């Protein structure tokens, strides 16, 4: 947020923290707390973690209101929906946005999640 001058979080409706346990293990607790403090209070926060450590629970306490905990049991017959698809496309750097756009346009009736390596990626 500090490095991206044109980034404004005022319209942010949802914050997704994936691998929260890893973020905290790598020493980013203070950074996460600083980011969360600068985000709108009225937002949905989704916190995903493979493990429930004390630090993840502390982060949840700081950033979540009325949290709901969902556990996926290892021994469950199906822990991942059978209809879930994971896709990736290998392309030249200059073609990334147009390929992504084409992919999303061809899957309009499906829900998609796109991961970027950093905020700078989507701004290019």
- The DSSP secondary structure of 54-96, one letter per residue, reads HHHHHHHHHH-SS-------TT-S-SS-TT---------GGGH
pLDDT in tens, the chain (124 residues): 666 677 778 888 888 888 877 777 788 888 888 888 888 888 888 877 766 667 667 666 666 777 777 766 666 666 667 788 888 888 888 898 899 889 989 988 888 887 766 655 555 5
pLDDT of residue 62: 60
**Angstrom distances, CA of residue 47 to CA of 6, 40, 73, 121:** 26, 16, 17, 22
CATH fold of 14-73+82-123: Rossmann fold (3.40.50)
pLDDT of residue 102: 92
């Amino acid at each position: 947020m500090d490095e991206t001058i044109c980034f404004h979080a005022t319209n942010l409706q949802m914050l997704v923290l994936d691998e929260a346990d890893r973020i905290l293990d790598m020493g980013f607790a203070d950074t996460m707390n600083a980011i969360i403090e600068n985000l709108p209070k009225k937002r949905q926060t989704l916190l995903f973690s493979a493990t429930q450590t004390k630090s993840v629970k502390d982060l949840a306490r700081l950033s979540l209101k009325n949290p709901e905990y969902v556990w996926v049991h290892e021994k469950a017959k199906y822990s991942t929906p059978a209809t879930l698809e994971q896709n990736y496309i290998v392309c030249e750097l200059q073609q990334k946005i147009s390929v992504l756009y084409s992919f999303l346009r061809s899957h309009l009736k499906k829900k998609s999640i796109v991961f970027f390596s950093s905020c700078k990626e989507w701004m290019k």
